[in-house]
Amino acid sequence: MIKTSVYNLAIGMHVSKLDRDWLSTSFFRHSFLINNETQLKRLRAECLFVFIDNDKCKTKLLSPIQPTPTESIQSAGIKVKQTKKLLIKFFSQLKQGVKVDTKLLISSINTLSRDVFNDTTTYLYLVKLKEKDDSLSEKSMNVFIFYLAFAKHIGVKKTVLLEIGTAAILHDIGMISAPEELFKSAFLNKDERKFITNHTNVGIEILAHEKIFSNLTIKIIKSHHENVDGSGYPDGLSGRDISVYARMLNITCMYEALTRDRIYRKAISPIEAVNTLVRNINTKLDARLTLKFVEMLGLYPIGSTVYLNNGHLVQIISFNDKAGFCVIPYETATTKSLKAILVQAEDIDKIAGINSCFTEVS
């Protein structure tokens, strides 16, 4: 069998094995001959790679074809939408007090966690292609992607990927019963403040009842609002008494919240958000981990809008140590047309003072 990207596939090739388990795909069989374009599109939407049997192929595998940035983003967008749909259903079932389908959600999180690890740059850019909503599910997906990119950057082992990814995507599950008014105001009354400081306890009670989530997942969720100086909640933990994964999640949540449009506040730029993180070092945030998070984002974080030396306004969509910065003209950032070019650090003049607005690739 030959392992290959789904973008190298063609009609007439024989797939012997997919890169994920049966529940995570819409395919009834994982060994079949590709007969039409519909199967190709489904494979590219649901998988990163497959194993093919060249002896059974009517069309032989030739030289590898790499997906274009647009194809990668569209494929990642479909996978995120699939998991988000399950997450919305999960939250809705919990609100209604009906039996929840936890196993399917966990399977989807497991698959998406591996995908983010394997193609971190695409998923980080996808976070910027936001829907214009401030929903719990949207926030949860954003935090999930940032958190796993962070975990990969600092070398977290893949053996804990599912547990920490689950904690990231369900970190605010305790907010499902929050009144709508709570999300619309920057100022909280006494009762609202009490609800906020107790929502992590509510969250772990919900998950404990399901009896499928690990102790590590529950511990991270409970402590992700604890601050290193002891000023956080619910237990006022400080320093190393807070799990390293919870300290990472605290940093991630702050950055995500700062760079997301809220009903009562517009998003700030990635650079401004980084400055805010740094100002919170040794009070709310762990110093070493915060600097690692900033390092992960890069000199010009993905999504940053910059001026080139020729005066053109562009947006950074990816970075590679060897190739440089991949950018697109700013005026195309809100469309599906991604005419990317490569530039070097010396080609960039300065950061633009623009809070970017994006739409999701469909």
Q: Is 316 in the same domain as 242? A: no
Among 26, 54, 82, the domain-final residue is 54
199 is a domain residue: yes
Asked if the model's pLDDT at residue 78 lies above 80, the reply is: yes
Q: Collapsing DSSP states into helix, strand and coil, what is residue 249?
A: helix
**CATH number of the domain to which 242 belongs:** 1.10.3210.10
User: Assign residue 18 a region: left if phi > 0, alpha if psi is -120 to 50, beta otherwise?
Assistant: beta
362 is a domain residue: no
Q: How far is CA 217 from CA 46, 101, 151, 213, 362, in A?
A: 26, 18, 14, 6, 31
pLDDT: is 74 or 286 the higher one?
A: 286
Asked if the model's pLDDT at residue 184 lies above 80, the reply is: no
Taking only the tens place, the pLDDT of each residue in 102-130 is 888 999 999 999 999 988 888 887 787 65
Work out the average pLDDT over 277-300.
91
Q: Is 84 in the same domain as 6? A: no
Work out the average pLDDT over 72-101.
88
pLDDT at 325: 81
Instruction: Please name which of 224, 328, 358 lies closest in space to residue 284, comparing C-alpha atoms.
Output: 224
Instruction: Please name which of 166, 175, 212, 217 lies closest in space to residue 195, comparing C-alpha atoms.
Output: 175
Q: Is 164 in the same domain as 287? A: yes
Q: Is 45 in the same domain as 116? A: no
Asked if the model's pLDDT at residue 133 lies above 70, the reply is: no
Separation CA 44–CA 330 (nearest Å):
28
Asked if the model's pLDDT at residue 353 lies above 60, the reply is: no
pLDDT: is 300 or 14 the higher one?
A: 14
Domain count, the chain: 3
pLDDT: is 315 or 279 the higher one?
A: 279
Q: Is 182 in the same domain as 222? A: yes
155 is a domain residue: yes
Query: Could you tell me the two tokens for 262?
Result: 């809220």
Q: Is 98 in the same domain as 208? A: yes
357 is a domain residue: no
Separation CA 313–CA 309 (nearest Å):
10
358 is a domain residue: no
Q: What percent of the chain has pLDDT over 90?
A: 39
194 is a domain residue: yes
Q: Is 33 in the same domain as 182? A: no
Question: Binning pLDDT at 50, 70 and 90, where does residue 358 land?
Answer: very low
Q: Is 102 in the same domain as 199? A: yes
Q: Is 128 in the same domain as 19? A: no
Asked if the model's pLDDT at residue 23 lies above 80, the reply is: no
Among 54, 78, 96, the domain-final residue is 54
Asked if the model's pLDDT at residue 324 lies above 90, the reply is: no
Q: Is 28 in the same domain as 97? A: no
Q: Which domain holds residue 18?
A: 2-54
Question: Binning pLDDT at 50, 70 and 90, where does residue 132 land?
Answer: low
328 is a domain residue: yes
Name, in order, each residue with C-beta under 8 angstroms of 51's C-beta and a sequence gap of 6 or more. 1, 2, 3, 4, 15, 16, 17, 18
Instruction: Please name which of 156, 154, 71, 68 lies closest in space to residue 113, comparing C-alpha atoms.
Output: 156
Question: Binning pLDDT at 50, 70 and 90, where does residue 334 land?
Answer: low
Question: Binning pLDDT at 50, 70 and 90, where does residue 362 land?
Answer: very low
Instruction: Please name which of 325, 329, 347 lies closest in space to residue 337, comparing C-alpha atoms.
Output: 329
Integer-rounded Cα Rg, in Å, for the chain is 21
Q: Is 78 in the same domain as 184? A: yes
Separation CA 355–CA 236 (nearest Å):
34
342 is a domain residue: yes
pLDDT at 2: 83
pLDDT at 231: 96
Taking only the tens place, the pLDDT of each residue in 42-55 is 888 888 888 888 88
Which DSSP helix (H) or strand (E) runs through 106? helix 102-118
Question: Binning pLDDT at 50, 70 and 90, where does residue 321 land?
Answer: low
pLDDT: is 23 or 207 the higher one?
A: 207
Q: Is 317 in the same domain as 293? A: no
